[in-house]
Structure 1
Amino acid sequence: MATSCNLADRQCRPCEGGIAPLDAAMASEMLHTLAGWALNGERLEKTFAFRNHYEAMAFVNAIAWLSHRENHHPELTVDYKDVRVRYWTHAIDGLSENDFICAAKLEKLLTI
């Protein structure tokens, strides 16, 4: 099984469809490497809580930077002090390894 550290060290690969989404067993296995993340249908999500709006927005900007580098973009919901991040791979309408790689990179970013 891949660890979150291993996932965070990987790079997203372009996905333009033509592959199957991860099956439930593989998604569940990868989910266990990510503290606080949950599967919500075919989506991988987590809500991050911050002390204030400034910190929440700084995190959103960090997500934008990471998303640009990986060319894999989440859905974001921003509240006053909370940011919900939802990943799925649009081209396959389900989860791919890219979703878990980006989630692991966000977790690593918060430990720096």
Structure 2
Amino acid sequence: MSDLKSKSCKACAGGVEPLTSGQADELLQQLDGWMREGKEIFRTFTFKNYYETMAFVNASAYVSHREDHHPDLEVGYKTCRVTYTTHAIGGLSENDFICAAKLDALL
């Protein structure tokens, strides 16, 4: 089993097939607390207060910038829902799982 958080995202400009359902499920098993719904993976992170939530949001923005792969974020007072999909291919790519693993490592 490869260590997703040690990998780096590869540029994806389209023209590549998204992961199959089986491939996505296999990668999902390497993540804690993430779920798959169709062409997306998501997780809701819970924090003690707004400050911790925003610290996580800022740290996740740094990860996104470094990997050049950006999630959708829904931010609340004590929660942040993170959703990944690879828009350029209309589905999931390994990049989504790499970034999810890197966000898990922030905690």
**Normalising by the residue count of structure 1, what TM-score does the alignment of the two structures yield?**
0.93
Residue identity opposite 1:10 in structure 2: K
Q: Which runs of 4+ in 1 moved over 4 A?
A: none
Structure 2 distance, partners of 1:35, 1:65, is: 21
Q: Do structure 1's residue 40 and structure 2's residue 37 form an aligned pair?
A: yes
* Residue in 1 that maps onto 2:88: 91
Equivalent position SS for 1:80: coil
Where in structure 2 are the equivalents of 1:52-71 lying within 5 Å? 52-71=49-68
* Residue in 2 that maps onto 1:51: 48
Q: Would you say how many aligned residue pairs link Structure 1 and Structure 2?
A: 107
Structure 2 distance, partners of 1:108, 1:48, is: 12
Candidates 26, 30, 34, aligned match of 2:27 = 30
Percent identical pairs in the alignment equals 57
Structure 2 distance, partners of 1:51, 1:68, is: 26
Residue identity opposite 1:44 in structure 2: I
* Runs of 5+ consecutive residues of structure 2 not aligned to the other structure: none
RMSD: 0.7
Structure 1 distance, partners of 2:38, 2:76, is: 22
Structure 2 distance, partners of 1:61, 1:76, is: 11
Q: Do structure 1's residue 17 and structure 2's residue 14 form an aligned pair?
A: yes
* Residue in 2 that maps onto 1:108: 105
Once the 2 structures are TM-superposed, how far is the Cα of residue 108 of structure 1 from its aligned partner? 1.2
* Runs of 5+ consecutive residues of structure 1 not aligned to the other structure: none
